[in-house]
Amino acid sequence: MTTKRAIRSELLAARRRLTPELLKETDAAFADRAARLEELSGAATVAAYVSVGSEPGTRALLEALRARGVRVLLPVLMADDDLDWGEYRGAEHLVAAGRGLLEPDGPRLGPDAVLAAGAVLLPGLAVDGRGLRLGRGGGSYDRVLARLAAHGAHPALVVLLYANEVVARVPEEPHDHPVQAVVTPEGVRRFTASA
């Protein structure tokens, strides 16, 4: 855990150094590359999230998916750190929530709503050559991934990261699930089970 904490601290510090100009530039690149990703554009329903601060930008991507008729589900953090879901109906329907997050203002669909997703866009801080993702450490998405596995759901798992966040190796725990692809402003990298 100490190693994970140190890696997270280093990566978050690097994100804090990103300039507003670079963030704006990379937001467009993330949207362009991710919107063309078959796993996201080909899914009828995508579970995603609203980027905040210096996270890799998702806002333009959310709009692009919605414009194509993709149903986009956004997380709603519950008191126990599990995730409920609501439908994305546009930026004007986002409200401030705890921990500086934004969530949809519409009806709550329940934690199992994610089971309908053909793809899940996961937040993260790093991914390694095996496709293993390092999250922020709250465990919310570990619960989502466990829920998907328990119900036999196999959506495509995709993470958006900056190029320096694709690393040689992240610490692994038994509950970790690999992603199928990482999108950076520079391109897409796919992972296979044997990677």
CATH number (domain holding residue 165): 3.40.50.10420
Is 164 a domain residue? yes
Is 195 a domain residue? no
- Residue 15 marked as a ligand binder: no
Cα maximum dimension of the chain = 43
- Residue 139 marked as a ligand binder: yes
- Residue 182 marked as a ligand binder: no
- Residue 38 marked as a ligand binder: no
Is 66 a domain residue? yes
- Residue 62 marked as a ligand binder: no
Mean pLDDT, range 181-191, rounded to an integer = 94
- Residue 134 marked as a ligand binder: yes
The whole-number pLDDT of residue 193 equals 58
DSSP letter for each residue of 155-180: -EEEEE--GGGEES-----TT--B-S
- Residue 140 marked as a ligand binder: yes
Number of domains forming the structure of the chain: 1
Is 148 a domain residue? yes
- Residue 8 marked as a ligand binder: yes
- Residue 90 marked as a ligand binder: no
Is 97 a domain residue? yes
- Residue 89 marked as a ligand binder: no
pLDDT per residue over 74-106, tens digit each?
Answer: 999 999 999 999 999 999 999 999 888 999 999
Element (H, E) at 155: none
Say if residues 181 and 38 touch (Cβ distance below 8 Å).
Answer: no
pLDDT per residue over 104-142, tens digit each?
Answer: 999 999 999 999 999 999 999 999 999 999 988 788 999
The whole-number pLDDT of residue 2 equals 60
Q: Which domain holds residue 108?
A: 2-190
Is 170 a domain residue? yes
Is 116 a domain residue? yes
- Residue 145 marked as a ligand binder: no
Question: Dihedral of CA 12/18/101/47: which sign?
Answer: negative
